[in-house]
Amino acid sequence: MSEHGTDAILSQAHDWRAEGKGVVLATVLDTWGSAPRRPGAYMAVADDGAFVGSVSGGCVEVAVVEEARGVLMDAEPRTVDFGVADDVAWAVGLACGGRIRVRLEPVGQGDGALPDAVLVQILAARSQARPVVLVTDLDAGTHRLVDGHSIGADQCKSGAGPVPSPSSDLLAEVLRLDAARTVGLAGGEPSMEAAPHLFLRPHNPPVRVAIVGAVHLAQVLAPLVQAVGYRPIVIDPRDDFATRGRFQGVTLLRKWPAEALDELEPDARTGVVVVSHDPKFDDPALVRALESKAFYIGALGSRRTHARRLERLREAGAAEYELERIRAPIGLDIGSRSPEEIAVAILAEIVQDLRRPPAVASPSAPGVDSAPEPGAP
């Protein structure tokens, strides 16, 4: 999910409500076939027809706006299917075979509405980098917000009305995979086999990418990282390199890499990219990264350079299972040559490791998981 886009959509919905407008939040529940948006994608619609976000990439947005007007008129949520078997689908562009199921809920007060308070708490959690899961009872129209740090304890953060509680394992999996999903109920308990009843929508903190070395490659990589909704953080103690003029709109830490990474505390939603090509910067950064739960660690350099680097890290006390976590030469092998092409390869590898974690760590290795830890901030 594009978490940068999510922030903008939910913030706009909140602003519209503050202006006294009626607002409907449309959410993709399920998709089949060639539908372009994943479950959990948001679209907010105001009572004047203005909207932000997308549930289909442009195919059904006009129809969703019309449905939203009906939701505001009835003051009740509704679930709508768009697909090839639906006459509406031909008019809105899904005749290619894709189908989507969209939930439309009024924002505010009343039965079936997403409470304003819950929307505010989601926005607060996102700004504070706290993982939460919004659990919606699709039949009753009630909601509860589960704090990712409290999974397994008192899971109810806030909400309206009683909502069946999914298992801790299921909530943790939704956060780990960063993927919304529907689950059913069997005998009053969540079940994957029963008809859909609950919708679980994770809200994870933004992915951070710490870039060590304010070099030209970092100048190219940082905007690409931002473009996919991640947060780049450029680390370099050299004032002539780490300047606002060279890195506009990017977080800069003018500190030695080891100190900066100690401050950042890389977690399971943090990648570390080491590109200074200078051992006095790169090696301490890699030592700190290997001690962390960073989901991605990559280092610039040829295979020969990396072999020498590994020897230095072994001498510094790094274990073999730790060294296997380092992606080097950095980036997917797409034949890249220019800084721009190398940056694309690096970002592609980061996305790949985030979405399909490589199993490189020893299962018995202390403090290292083969996949991101559930609900990590």
Contact residues for 130 (Cβ-Cβ < 8 A; gap 6+): 147, 148, 149, 205, 377
Contact residues for 198 (Cβ-Cβ < 8 A; gap 6+): 135, 136, 137, 138, 163, 164, 166, 182, 183, 184, 185, 190
- Res. 322 pLDDT band, cuts 50 70 90: very high
Contact residues for 48 (Cβ-Cβ < 8 A; gap 6+): 21
Q: Are 175 and 148 in contact (CB under 8 A)?
A: yes
Structure confidence at residue 348 (pLDDT)? 98
- Does residue 57 have a pLDDT over 80? no
Residue pLDDT, tens place only, 265-274: 999 899 999 9
- Res. 316 pLDDT band, cuts 50 70 90: very high
Residue pLDDT, tens place only, 96-117: 557 889 999 999 988 889 999 9
Region 72-80: mean pLDDT is 94
Structure confidence at residue 3 (pLDDT)? 53
Identity at 231, one-letter amino acid code: R
Q: Are 116 and 158 in contact (CB under 8 A)?
A: no
Residue pLDDT, tens place only, 282-310: 999 999 999 999 999 999 999 999 999 99
Structure tokens at 4: 């940068």
- The rounded percent of the chain whose pLDDT value lies above 70 is 82
Question: What is this structure's pTM?
Answer: 0.74
Closest CA to 71 of 26, 42, 104: 104
Residue pLDDT, tens place only, 196-226: 689 999 999 889 999 999 999 999 999 999 9
Domains of the chain: 3-203 (no CATH), 208-355 (3.40.50.720)
Structure confidence at residue 127 (pLDDT)? 87
Structure confidence at residue 157 (pLDDT)? 52
Region 66-90: mean pLDDT is 80
Structure confidence at residue 368 (pLDDT)? 37
